[in-house]
Amino acid sequence: MAERLDVAQRLAEGRPAVEHTQSYMRACRLLGYEHPDLTSHPAQIRDWYDSEDGLDLRALDGDCAQLRAAAAAVMEALRMQRAQVDELAAAWSGPGAESAVQFLQRHCDAANTAATEVRAAAQRCESLRDNLWHLVDVKVATAIAIDDRTLAHRPAWLAAADTVTTGVGDRQTADELVQQQIKPHVDNDIRTDRLSAMRSTQAGVAASYDMVIDRFVAAAPAYFGIPDELRTGRAPFQPAPASALEATAALAPAAAFPHPAVDPAPAAAPETPTTQAPTTTPGAPAPPTPPISDLGTGGLGGASAMPSGPSGVGSRAGLDGLGGLASRIVDAMSGLLGSAAERLNDPSGLDDPAGTEDPFEPDDNADDDDDDHESDAEPEKPEDIQTIEAQEAKPVDGPPPAAGPPPGRRTAAGGRTAG
């Protein structure tokens, strides 16, 4: 006896009955019997019987076991998810909590639908497995039962069918036996009962598969909601508009936005400041002009004292302007100091005419008593005041005027120029 769900072994048990029926049908066909479902080709009876050959119900049984396990796992996950929803509702409150709980509850509902369908799929597959096994078993049992109806006549019928088929033996006696006994059996039992059982088995197998497939197709789908931010293929994130960023920057403290570093000014080729040399009397020595480096360390208080920054004062252009201004100041001072020195060396030069006194010359009586100084000091002449105002009113940016020898200055020949 074949084990349950062993289709191959069960079919093997009914195959001898099929071979008997095939021998009867072949002999009847040679003697003129025709039926489209029985005599279309020599192996048609065997084809009807082997329609379920290769069916592996044990594999289907294994699928049912896996579906059962999956259904159990899904139900356990659903139980845990529902417990977590309850914990979330207890630990969190407010509108956000309500929205989250509702979202997770919808997930629980979808999971419940999925778990129900998995469990139903396991049941459908189990039903398919049992139905297929029942159909195969009934078909085999029907084939064996129909063959057993002729158990008493089987040896003689098989010998007569073999003689008609091969032509070996008493052909006349065999032909009469086939015509009188075997052909009525084929036309009644085989064509009616056996053929109906084969057709019923094939139709039952197809109906079993269709029923399960239809139930799978008709199953309600389960949808698990996903937030729009987590969906694949969504539009890329758009940055905030510039107006929003400006509003945020206005509200934020100034220290939160560091100032960008100012790019240093490009290095330029050094340029020599061009200043107009003062005009001197032929034969007189030209006053020395200190270089820019001397001005930066001496007369202007050093380079470190000059400010630097984006205003350009400490840049190359600023140094050129300061250097030109300092050159003009030094030229004017050297001319005045040189005139005063010559006047001190020449006693006759002490009595300079009015309007030629150097305003930058220190007072010789500075060390005397204040009362003597007040009594000896002479009032400034109008010409001296005009000279000082004229020197202070010289434009800084323009070139210095051509300076001739001061009044009362001696020439190289030792003579005295007219005042």
146-156 tens-digit pLDDT: 999 999 999 99
Please list the alpha-helical segments (H only) found in 149-290.
154-166, 171-177, 183-185, 195-218, 242-251
**pLDDT computed for residue 225 by the predictor:** 79
Distance CA(292)–CA(324), nearest Å, equals: 9
Q: pLDDT band at 328, cuts 50/70/90? A: confident
The whole-model pTM stands at 0.53
**pLDDT computed for residue 310 by the predictor:** 42
Residue 82's nearest CA partner among 59, 111, 57, 56 is: 111
Hey, how many other C-beta atoms are within 10 angstroms of the C-beta on 135?
Answer: 20
Q: pLDDT band at 306, cuts 50/70/90? A: very low
33, 39 Cβ separation under 8 angstroms: yes
Distance CA(344)–CA(86), nearest Å, equals: 111
CA distances from 377 to 179, 358, 364, 369 (A): 177, 15, 11, 12
What is the tens place of the pLDDT at every residue in 222-231? 888 777 666 6
